[in-house]
């Protein structure tokens, strides 16, 4: 097998002394590593070209640091919220923001080393070319003046934060999600633009760590989720002291001595919102502009995302793409999955198709918001005769025992066949609960079958059983475990 050797501070090269491979992977994040390892395990020679910091978005600036700081915020909030239990006095923890940020950075360094850098020596037939700005050419790529040849190329260059078009925003030192997570000194107050996954997570995290937060969004929080679920989260954030401003238009933003002032318009009336710092969490844009896609006839959408088919092939024969650079789901686990689909098809290993029909997703707020499959609107748009059930968490014994009944479960099913089509949940343990529903969808369960399944008592996941039973009966009239 081909071995990998480090040379200088630039790249790895083959001991064989040639630059010809079976597959070139551009990008060294989740999708890039997944693709490279899959190909290497199949005995193929792979050149993996780094794009930015090794490990990509998730470990460096996304999932890992954000969830670490969200957990820190949960620990602080736990002391305050303990008063919901009779006989428990609340306590307020002191927070050293700088130390939390430093500890998070150390965790990121550790996981990048362990889960990415240290893996490379285990795969002799992966050659890593470090931090190269690759560009497509006939028969391969050009990177740093070096031509690398391969019959197949997979693009996995990821994405970056998108700055909204607001008058004056270029004059403001706007923070993106990573800027906030790595900010050395705690801001007194922040305006968070965007009510999607990232905006909601970071707004609550910062608030729990002692920052005054105003969360601002054009429509409503989590506009793609079920209204019942989004409303639960909105009320939870407000209850913690976060100012939630919705249904508005951004007009302008200016930097002043006292911080940042954002002018919005709501119902035809202008208003101003002020904070020390502005944090933009208004989506992401694909890292695709410098690859030479247009010259090769590779189609992209308005944000530069590469259009791919179910086989993850681009519109150029011989070129595939995976991860956040594509027009597919922007989750790290789907990036890795899509990369495996792409490699199997590119190398003729197994004919796979990208399938997100039972793909769970999670928003790591508190309560956590999670879902899988169709929402009610999506199911109707797909032509289904839809029936739904909605169960609030005050019907779930686990929530009652935890003295925390914030939450709701909504299930969507086909009225004719009774087959489950999707569901969403807002609950403190929603992230773990949703996988059970994902399995139910994967194996085409009916609401009747889910309602008849045995679940352990005093668990949040039992709420799925109760929600399934709610299609046909009033669960408030059942005794414990009587369903």
Q: Is 448 annotated as a binding residue?
A: no
Q: Is residue 417 part of a domain?
A: yes
Q: Is the same domain home to 275 and 291?
A: no
Q: Is residue 109 part of a domain?
A: no
**What pLDDT score does 464 carry?**
98
Q: Is 324 annotated as a binding residue?
A: yes
Q: Is the same domain home to 276 and 299?
A: no
Q: Is 474 annotated as a binding residue?
A: no
Q: Is 337 annotated as a binding residue?
A: no
Residues of the chain whose pLDDT is less than 70?
1-18, 131, 482-483
Q: Is the same domain home to 207 and 339?
A: no
Q: Is the same domain home to 291 and 263?
A: no
Q: Is the same domain home to 405 and 449?
A: yes
Q: Is 309 annotated as a binding residue?
A: no
Q: Is 67 annotated as a binding residue?
A: yes
Q: Is residue 63 part of a domain?
A: no
CATH number for the domain spanning 464: value is 3.30.390.30
Q: Is the same domain home to 190 and 267?
A: yes
Tell me which residue range forms the domain holding 36. Answer: 4-55+116-160+285-346
**What pLDDT score does 19 carry?**
78
The pTM assigned to this predicted structure is 0.93
Q: Is the same domain home to 385 and 396?
A: yes
Q: Is 17 annotated as a binding residue?
A: no
Q: Is 348 annotated as a binding residue?
A: no
Out of 299, 321, 346, a domain closes at 346
Out of 282, 301, 322, a domain closes at 282
Q: Is the same domain home to 211 and 257?
A: yes
CATH number for the domain spanning 337: value is 3.50.50.60
Cβ contact 131:42 at 8 Å: no
Q: Is 409 annotated as a binding residue?
A: no
**What pLDDT score does 57 carry?**
95
Q: Is the same domain home to 11 and 137?
A: yes
Q: Is 323 annotated as a binding residue?
A: no
Q: Is 158 annotated as a binding residue?
A: yes
Q: Is the same domain home to 269 and 293?
A: no
Q: Is the same domain home to 132 and 220?
A: no
Q: Is 197 annotated as a binding residue?
A: yes
**What pLDDT score does 133 carry?**
87
Q: Is residue 278 part of a domain?
A: yes
**What pLDDT score does 10 carry?**
32
H/E/C letters for each residue in the chain?
CCCEEEECCCEEEECCCCCECCEEEECCCHHHHHHHHHHHHCCCCEEEECCCCCCHHHHHHCHHHHHHHHHHHHHHHHHHHHHHCCCCCCCCCCCCHHHHHHHHHHHHHHHHHHHCHHHHHHCCCEEEECCCCEEEECCEEEECCEEEECCEEEECCCEEECCCCCECHHHCCCECHHHHHCCCCCCCEEEEECCCHHHHHHHHHHHHCCCEEEEECCCCCCCCCCHHHHHHHHHHHHHCCCEEECCCEEEEEEEECCEEEEEEEECCEEEEEEECEEEECCCEEECCCCCCCHHHCCCECCCCCECCCCCCECCCCCEEECHHHECCCCCHHHHHHHHHHHHHHHCCCCCCCCCCCCCCEEECCCCEEEEEECCHHHHHHCCCCEEEEEEEHHHCHHHHHCCCCCCEEEEEEECCCCEEEEEEEEECCHHHHHHHHHHHHHCCCEHHHHHHCCCCCCCCCHHHHHHHHCCCCCHHHCCCCCC
If one counts the domains in the chain, the total is: 3
Q: Is the same domain home to 267 and 289?
A: no
């Amino acid at each position: 097998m081909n071995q990998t050797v480090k040379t200088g501070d630039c790249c790895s090269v083959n001991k064989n002394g040639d630059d010809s491979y079976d597959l070139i992977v551009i990008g060294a994040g989740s999708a890039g590593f997944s693709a490279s390892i899959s190909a290497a395990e199949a005995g193929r020679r792979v050149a993996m070209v780094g794009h930015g910091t090794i490990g990509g978005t998730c470990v460096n600036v996304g999932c890992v640091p954000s969830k670490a700081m969200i957990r820190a915020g949960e620990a602080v909030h736990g002391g305050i919220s303990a008063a919901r239990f009779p006989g428990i006095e609340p306590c307020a923890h002191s927070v050293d923001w700088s130390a939390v940020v430093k500890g998070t950075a150390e965790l990121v360094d550790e996981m990048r080393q362990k889960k990415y850098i240290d893996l490379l020596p285990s795969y002799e037939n992966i050659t890593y070319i470090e931090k190269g700005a690759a560009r497509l050419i006939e028969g391969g790529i050009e990177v740093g003046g070096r031509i690398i040849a391969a019959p197949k190329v997979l693009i996995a260059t990821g994405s970056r934060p998108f700055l909204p078009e607001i008058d004056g925003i270029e004059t403001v030192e706007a923070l993106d999600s990573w800027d906030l997570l790595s900010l050395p000194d705690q801001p007194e107050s922040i305006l968070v633009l965007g009510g999607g996954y990232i905006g909601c997570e970071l707004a609550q995290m910062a608030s729990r760590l002692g920052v005054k937060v105003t969360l601002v969004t054009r429509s409503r929080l989590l506009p793609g989720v079920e209204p019942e679920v989004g409303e639960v989260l909105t009320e939870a954030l407000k209850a913690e002291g976060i100012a939630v401003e919705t249904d508005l238009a951004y007009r302008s933003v200016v930097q002043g001595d006292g911080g940042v002032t954002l002018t919005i318009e709501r119902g035809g009336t202008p208003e101003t919102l002020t904070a020390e710092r502005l944090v933009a969490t208004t989506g992401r844009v694909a890292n695709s502009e410098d690859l030479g896609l247009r010259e090769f006839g590779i189609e992209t959408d308005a944000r530069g995302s590469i259009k791919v088919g179910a086989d993850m092939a681009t519109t150029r024969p011989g070129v595939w793409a995976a991860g956040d650079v594509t027009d597919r789901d922007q989750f790290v686990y789907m990036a890795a999955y899509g990369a495996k689909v792409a490699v199997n098809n590119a190398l003729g290993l197994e004919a796979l198709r990208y399938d997100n029909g039972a793909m769970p997703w999670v928003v790591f707020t508190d309560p956590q918001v999670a879902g899988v499959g169709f929402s009610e609107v999506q199911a109707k748009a797909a032509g289904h005769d839809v029936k739904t059930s909605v169960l609030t968490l005050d019907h779930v014994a686990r929530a009652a025992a935890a003295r925390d009944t914030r939450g709701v479960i909504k299930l969507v099913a086909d009225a004719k066949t009774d087959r489950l089509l999707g569901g969403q949940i807002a609950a403190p343990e929603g992230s773990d609960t949703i996988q059970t529903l994902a399995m139910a969808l994967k194996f085409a369960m009916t609401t009747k079958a889910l309602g008849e399944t045995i679940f352990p008592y005093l668990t949040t996941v039992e709420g799925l059983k109760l929600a399934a039973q709610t299609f046909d009966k009033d669960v408030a009239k059942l005794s414990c475990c009587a369903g």
